[in-house]
Structure 1
């Protein structure tokens, strides 16, 4: 990977300088405040909106800098000192990003927690919430039992014998809320443990051979819409809010069965039952924030329009390539009525490959998801990422991975309007290619492909407001397009040539950004070529975005 801008401040003698927003997201009435850590000299914070300088504020050593009340939007923040200028983002001593929003539900940058031991230090978790701008945190396996969430008292062992302190859970929900985020308590919508099974076996979903469907050897499955279960489940969620102060729930399932016979001989379409359950939870808990897990895209087509706060999909085989991830996101956005889309793509690769190869796999996964308008559930618990569906079996990150995540999540937030806005639409087929001849990129040393193709630059074009956004994912040097496999070093396609059809007499404005090398939008030179305009683009690393404003009004000098 290309190294991020250095965070070593040799001028002031501080080893690490960092910017941390006090909140993952700010309301329009909030003062936007940034904590400066490790700075022993005077400097300044510059605030940027899609490459345009908004304001500059002094930073006198470490401490909290108040940027004031800002308009709704997303911003990049850069720290410079007297020895550096703010002309180039690559020279910034440290960077972060901030979001100001009137509706925190409109985005879900999702993380997790899986440790509730008594007396746990929560500071690393909250730092991660702030550092990665996580607007939701899943509290995984916090409950006493799957079918009896809060019956264990104040301290207990969970269903898989891990210690849980409700005092720790309460501190977590409060601290997450104070950091401008939300806590979602994990709740399986149809799983029942052995001790509770006699009460619920009348609602069992049965295999064709007779026994109830189950998970491993400790859970059996019931019809989530069976009336007595549904009443119990929704009441249990309400009791959980009262007990520990959750903001909402992560409603989980296991992807099977899709149709089954219930113990009372009723044939159940489980997709319909999931919709019934989501509707019932929303009716019982109208203010709660809800996320339902569409395991392997089942049944996104039915639940996407349900009254929940995101379209969340946990992917498995056959969704194993970068291209398949893009198609999953496109389908989810198509049925989600503008809800944020989150993909749980567990990077198992870290268990078998060195960090440098695994970090590249994660970068390609993020490039695919972010460029298609989705986010990834991956990071949590302070210094961990997910490599397994049982979140307790997570992976402690290397410094390179932590730096990668911070850099890319900052990039995601700063360029939100170009990436995650529900109005962004893919227009590749209408703009690119020889027949259209409206906007395209070529490389002297690499092919350009419309789909994810090993050895090529994967090119897509989106429309964001009045701008075109060209996404360039560099698969040069790769032998396949698997998202959860070790990656070879990134190949070099050389500079690119952008050719754009002009709208009027003026020249379009062209800017580029790249989370690996150029984190803020910067302009590139544009020249006329008849009815077209041409710009030379720097070579992409993993992912580059090119923003084109058509400049129809008047000629640009």
Structure 2
């Protein structure tokens, strides 16, 4: 009897949606022939087990709001018995796992992806799979429109301003499929760009340089005042039409970072920080229900737009924001100005174009560790398995399997520990707890110093208060020559065996849980021993990033 030459599908777990409401069942698709049980953990605590046998969709039931890790524990004699045990396997041999996020505030977080091609044969299923796998609750549809100042004027199929073929049927399919997967499709739209064919109609709204020539982007876009009322009415009407015709959930509103100040045709000065805010207010008035995201290019003008009527604080970073410390500072400012809105950083990892994947993956790991530990997310992954290496998203980079596996682990980790990482109320309390004066809590290593700053050769140590818990972030910079986020990096060095020492709050011993995105991925307890007024806990070996959660009051 002939046998099929098609290999069986690799075992996999995939949530059916990027996010779930608290009143809807959480469904996980099982791919491949597996038998065992799915274990559901919340912040280290096992909260549910559900049996699984073979392919299909497993119903985990409803879950309270929060992030959850889901892991397969295989049957000892099942066909998947070699999938691995839970705690200490290397990442490539790790057990099947995924995560789910349950929330009744779908715009309180933003895990952002991208799409940049819209041919008739587009692999929409691949895009949706990546959104589900990485829990991307919003996907930017980059350069989908006919023209910057005429979004829908090209008919059902056309070439965009840079010659890429677009099928609006594909845009509709993407928007609908992403919506079914719990993700918002956001159409790209520039807030002040006019192409050659439309320029004659808008030259009266030009922003001028000192020599009287209009501001342009290259030789194909002219820039107009985004606060001009007739321009606002025109573009808002186009955006409304795109929602009606394509089912878009909202818009990514872009600018180019210049000019900061300009002059209009009639000599009136323009402050772009004010004009951008005026534009956002006009778009919100015209699209009260849609998800809106504005690009603060290189942190301009975050101070003026972070609390404008939009749904995230989004910043595309460029020099001088080149180090891990500068990323942290950008996020800290954005969180302070954003009135609780999620913070997303567009940090394009150009390093994938110039360095081996392993060195680029380590750069990305350090970038993610910095952003996630400071309460922000990164726009990096998209399409069906690509990463951004260029501001023109069409020039994206096909990710290696190692890169996709790393992103899977780290985005699962982000979703599972959502309440500890992205809570708006999280407060950096490092200076109030560590150091000789405080003598309250610290981590030491025998082979490397710790530092409250991102310094090469150290373990970058921060302490954050999240609803009374102390969350310690340990980012390993040992063995690195620099802290550039978009440069090749070596594997993390070994600082030796870490010890957490903390002053006790009373007679009870503190509890300490530790998690690592490249380890088991979930919070696990470590032993705590008394030492007079203090208590000490040995920490597991440090890879790139460790999350340490301390409850000084002990078990409750």
Where on the TM-score scale, by shorter chain, does this alignment land: which range?
over 0.9
Q: 2:536 aligns with which of 523, 526, 534?
A: 534
Deviations 1:361-394 (A, max 9, x none): 0000000000000000000011110000000000
Q: What is the match of residue 47 of structure 2?
A: 54
Contact 1:186 1:251 in 2 (8 A): yes
User: Structure 2 CA distance, aligned partners of 1:117 and 1:385?
Assistant: 19
**Secondary structure of 2:158's aligned partner:** strand
Shift, 1:90, TM fit: 4.2
- Matching residue within 95, 98, 112 for 1:96: 98
Q: How does 1:183-198 map to 2 (within 5 A)?
A: 183-198=185-200
What TM-score results when the alignment is normalised by the length of structure 1? 0.95
Partner of 1:6: none
Report the alpha carbon displacement of residue 528 of structure 1 after superposing the two structures with TM: 1.1
State whether residues 99 and 415 of structure 2, in contact with CA within 8 Å, keep that contact through their aligned partners in structure 1: yes
Q: Is the 8 A contact 1:505 1:553 kept in 2?
A: no
Equivalent residues in 2 for 1:119-198 (5 A)? 119-198=121-200
Q: Alpha carbons of 1:504 and 1:87: their partners in 2 closer, same or farther (altered >3 Å)?
A: farther
Unaligned runs of 5+ in 2: 1-6
Range that drifts further, 87-96 or 121-130: 87-96
1:63 deviation in Å? 1.0
Is the contact between residue 510 and residue 555 of structure 2 (CA under 8 Å) also seen in structure 1?
Answer: no
Displacement of 1:551: 2.1
Instruction: Report the equivalent of 1:37.
Output: 31
1:16 corresponds to 2:14: no
Q: Please state if 1:439 is matched with 2:433.
A: no
CA deviations on 1:185-235 (whole Å, 9 max, x unpaired) are 000000100110011011111111121111111101001001111111111
Per-residue deviation, residues 453-499 of structure 1 (Å, max 9, x unmatched): 00100000000112100000000000000000000221011111101
**Is the aligned partner of 1:64 residue 2:66?**
no
8 Å contact kept, 1:248–1:289 = yes
Partners in 2 of 1:210 and 1:515 — Cα distance? 54
Query: How many residues get paired?
Result: 541
Q: Contact between 1:505 and 1:552, CA under 8 Å: does it hold in 2?
A: no
Match in the other structure for 1:302: 304
Q: How does 1:445-484 map to 2 (within 5 A)?
A: 445-484=447-486
User: Which whole-Å CA distance do the structure 1 matches of 2:519 and 2:121 have between them?
Assistant: 41
Indicate how the Cα distance of structure 1 residues 167 and 534 shifts in structure 2: closer, same or farther if over 3 A, else same. same
1:527–1:66 Cα change, 3 Å: same
**Structure-1 residue corresponding to 2:326:** 324
Secondary structure of the corresponding residue to residue 317 of structure 1: coil
Q: Which residue of 1 aligns with 2:3?
A: none
Contact 2:511 2:554 in 1 (8 A): no
Displacement of 1:539 in angstroms is: 2.1
Kept in 2: contact 1:150–1:243 (CA 8 A): no
With 361-370 and 85-94 compared, the bigger mean Cα shift is at 85-94
Match of 2:4 in 1: none
Q: Structure 1 residues 121, 553: CA separation in 2 closer, same or farther (over 3 Å shift)?
A: closer
Q: CA RMSD in A?
A: 1.4
Distance 1:346 1:116 in 2: 22
* Counterpart pick for 2:294 among 292, 295, 302: 292
Alignment of 1:43-442 (within 5 A): 43-83=36-76, 88-90=86-88, 93-442=95-444
Q: Is the contact between residue 49 and residue 414 of structure 1 (CA under 8 Å) also seen in structure 2?
A: yes
Q: Equivalents in 2 of 1:359, 1:322: separation in Å?
A: 15
Work out the CA distance in 2 between the residues paired with 1:489 and 1:119: 40
What is the distance in 1 between the residues matched to 2:88 and 2:62?
27
Q: How far 1:87 moved relative to its partner?
A: 7.9
C-alpha contact (below 8 Å) 2:380/2:387 kept by paired residues: yes
Question: Which segment is superposed worse, 492-501 or 82-91?
Answer: 82-91
Partner SS state of residue 104, structure 1: coil
> Which is worse superposed, 83-92 or 305-314?
83-92
SS in 2 for 1:271: helix
**Unaligned segments of structure 1, at least 5 residues:** 1-12
- CA displacement, residues 343-363 of structure 1 (integer Å, 9 cap, x when unaligned): 000000000000000000000
Secondary structure of residue in 2 paired with 1:455: coil
CA contact (8 A) 1:443 1:495 kept: yes
How many Å separate the matches in 2 of 1:438 and 1:402? 40
Contact 1:504 1:552 in 2 (8 A): no
Residues 384 and 395 in structure 1, CA contact (< 8 A), matched pair in contact too:
yes
Contact 1:139/1:184 (CA < 8 Å) preserved in 2?
A: yes
Greater displacement, 76-85 / 462-471: 76-85
Q: 1:4: which partner in 2?
A: none
1:195 aligns to what SS in structure 2? helix
Q: What secondary structure sits across from 1:488 in the alignment?
A: coil
Partners of 2:533 and 2:214 lie apart in 1 by 67
CA distance in 2 between counterparts of 1:485 and 1:261 reads 39
In 2, the alpha carbon distance for the partners of 1:417 and 1:59 equals 28
